[in-house]
């Protein structure tokens, strides 16, 4: 069972914390909004992904179990 | 103007019985043309729709049976929403159906309600279709025996207003803005109920499948794109209007049915403002069927086709359209708010000959980056449109480097 990152684009205000904490998977566009380059979170980055999710000031970064997302 | 492709066997279907009176068809006239609605078991209906291969005609092209199954499979009482928003500025077909052939749409809505376990049908129309309101109300009044209640709601116009989650949001809270999904409408929609949202033409097709069956439905069209469809043809043709055709019809034959081009054509916009430009040299041999259109990166979408004459400038028109689409962003999501504005300004610079070095490449990067990053598909559609414009009008981009354009405005609708 793997985990996937997703952004609630309505909630996101482009604070950019996520890209700072998880540059392996997230970069910012020209206006500071996150681009999830690799939604699947490798196991070794799981703790970092959780930290990025917790750090988002608008709770816009989501970590979802991918076995459920395709329902 | 509304007509079907004359001489094509099996047509008209949806437009059968439509006369020049401009009046909505009465229930008696409707029954005389199509026959009364036979009793259909919910399972039978869903199976027939599945076997017919019918797909949604609102633009998303989603298999209708799968939507029916998704709502039917939920617990509790569900709801049906007829999405008559028709937010595509050049589209006319849904308001033609609602204003002239309302019983066909209502038949489909009643059948769909029965199939998914709904007791309520809500018909939502946009302000631009307000002319359909009287016809719809009159039609509903003629059907006191329908086993569901039918309510008609008008909503403000706006390109994003037809998006499913925006429709539900408007019905529930009076806020015409898309929401973050899931939950999707089939999970939690109108008043929290599992909700089936369908385009009027899709439901009209359901009404015909219920009467005549899936085999009959498949007698027109191609194996992968069966049936008939309504398309709205505009731009450089003699007789713009709504036409019924069989999938697989050659684009040339459709233009001929619309009185032929008013001048030599430069390109055709297929699928509306979320659609794709096709070079006229490629378009003339193209058949309007999924397999052919996919080959040129296009899809029929909500059935809008706009012909652009050689005397107009596709780059200039595209810049106007993308500027309109950027203005239609409801500014909920950063990539759409900022990205589409930048894309529009950059396209405008290419069209006016004021582009800076690297503008084209930057534009393509932005178009790639905004895709999939909104709560709804507005940025995706706008990006697809602009990328196809850059491809097809590459020669114009080159010639505009030395200054703005002097072509006649084609006046694509941007309101």
**pLDDT score, position A70:** 42
Among the listed residues B319, B310, B374, the one whose alpha carbon sits nearest the alpha carbon of residue B346: B319
Contact A29 B375 (CB under 8 A): no
0.90 exceeded by the pTM?
Answer: yes
Among the listed residues B254, B348, B357, the one whose alpha carbon sits nearest the alpha carbon of residue B307: B254
Whether A67 shows a pLDDT value over 70: the answer reads no
Q: Return the SS3 of B121.
A: strand
Distance CA A23, CA A4 (A): 15
- Say yes or no: A30 contacts chain B, CB-CB below 8 A: yes
Bond prior to B300 in cis (omega within 30° of 0): no
- Say yes or no: A58 contacts chain B, CB-CB below 8 A: no
- Written as one string, the DSSP assignment of B83-115 is EE----TT--HHHHHHHH-HHHHHHHHHHHHHH
Distance CA B230, CA B86 (A): 13
Q: Return the SS3 of A27.
A: strand
Contact B334 A13 (CB under 8 A): yes
Whether A68 shows a pLDDT value over 60: the answer reads no
Give every strand in the sheet of B195-198, ordered side by side.
B149-155, B118-126, B78-84, B195-198
| Residue A30 to residues A43, B90, B164, Cα–Cα distance (Å) | 29, 33, 29
Distance CA A4, CA A24 (A): 14
In the stretch 346-385 of chain B, residues with CB closer than 8 A to chain A read 366, 369, 373-375
Contact A7 B366 (CB under 8 A): no
DSSP secondary structure code for residue B49 in this structure: H
Size of interface A-B (CB pairs under 8 A): 40
Find the radius of gyration of the CA atoms of chain B: 21
CA distance A51 to chain B (A): 22
**pLDDT score, position B320:** 96
Percent of chain B having pLDDT more than 70?
99
| Residue A7 to residues A12, A63, B25, B59, Cα–Cα distance (Å) | 7, 9, 48, 25
Distance CA B29, CA B7 (A): 24
**pLDDT score, position B127:** 85
Q: Which residues of chain B fall short of a pLDDT of 70?
A: 404
Q: What are phi and psi of B272, to 5 degrees?
A: 80, -160
Where do the H-state alpha helices sit in B233-313? 251-257, 280-283, 290-295
Among the listed residues B211, B204, B167, the one whose alpha carbon sits nearest the alpha carbon of residue B189: B167
Contact B375 A10 (CB under 8 A): yes
- Say yes or no: B300 contacts chain A, CB-CB below 8 A: no
ipTM, 2 dp: 0.92
Instruction: Return the residue matching tokens 């985990």.
Output: A3
Partners of residue A14 in chain B, C-beta under 8 Å: 334
**pLDDT score, position A1:** 66
Partners of residue A8 in chain B, C-beta under 8 Å: 180, 375
């Amino acid at each position: 069972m793997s985990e996937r990152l997703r952004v609630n684009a309505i909630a996101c205000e482009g604070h950019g914390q996520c890209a700072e904490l998880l540059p392996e998977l997230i970069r910012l566009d020209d206006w500071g909004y996150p681009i999830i380059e690799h939604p699947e979170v490798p196991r070794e980055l799981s703790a970092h992904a959780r930290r990025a999710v917790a750090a988002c000031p608008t709770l816009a970064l989501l970590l979802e179990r991918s076995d459920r997302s395709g329902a | 103007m509304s007509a079907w492709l004359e001489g094509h066997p099996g047509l008209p279907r949806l437009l059968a019985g439509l006369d020049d009176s401009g009046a909505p068809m009465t229930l008696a006239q409707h029954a005389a043309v199509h026959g009364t609605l036979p009793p259909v078991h919910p399972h039978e209906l869903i199976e027939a729709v599945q076997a017919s291969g019918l797909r949604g005609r609102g633009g998303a092209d989603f298999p209708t049976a799968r939507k029916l199954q998704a709502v039917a499979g939920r617990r509790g009482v569900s709801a049906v929403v007829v999405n008559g928003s028709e937010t595509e500025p050049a589209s006319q077909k849904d308001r033609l159906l609602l204003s002239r052939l309302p019983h066909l749409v209502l038949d489909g809505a009643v059948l769909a309600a029965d199939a998914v376990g709904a007791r309520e049908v809500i018909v939502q129309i946009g302000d631009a279709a307000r002319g359909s309101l009287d016809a719809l109300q009159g039609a509903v009044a003629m059907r006191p025996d329908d086993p569901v209640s039918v309510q008609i709601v008008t909503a403000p116009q706006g390109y994003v207003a037809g998006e499913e989650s925006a429709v539900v949001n408007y019905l529930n809270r009076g806020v015409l803005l898309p929401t973050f999904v899931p939950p999707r409408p089939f999970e939690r929609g109108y008043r929290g109920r599992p909700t089936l949202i369908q385009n009027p033409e899709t439901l009209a097709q359901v009404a015909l499948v219920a009467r005549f069956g899936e085999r009959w439905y498949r007698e027109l069209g191609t194996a992968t794109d069966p049936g008939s469809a309504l398309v709205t043809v505009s731009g450089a043709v003699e007789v713009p209007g709504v036409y019924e055709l069989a999938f697989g019809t050659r684009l040339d034959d459709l233009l001929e049915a619309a009185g032929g081009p008013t001048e030599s054509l430069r390109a055709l916009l297929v699928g509306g403002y979320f659609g794709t430009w096709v070079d006229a040299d490629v378009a003339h041999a193209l058949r309007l069927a999924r397999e052919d259109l996919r080959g040129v990166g296009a899809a029929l979408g909500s059935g809008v086709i706009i012909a652009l004459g050689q005397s107009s400038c596709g780059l200039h028109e595209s810049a106007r359209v993308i500027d309109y689409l950027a203005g239609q962003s409801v500014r909920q999501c950063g990539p759409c708010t900022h990205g589409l504005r930048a894309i529009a300004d950059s396209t405008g610079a290419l069209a006016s000959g004021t582009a800076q070095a690297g503008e084209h490449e930057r534009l393509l990067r932005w178009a790639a980056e905004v895709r999939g990053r909104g709560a709804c598909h507005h940025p995706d559609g706008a990006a697809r449109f602009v990328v196809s414009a850059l491809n097809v009008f590459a020669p114009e981009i080159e010639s505009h480097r030395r200054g703005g354009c002097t072509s006649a405005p084609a006046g694509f609708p941007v309101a």
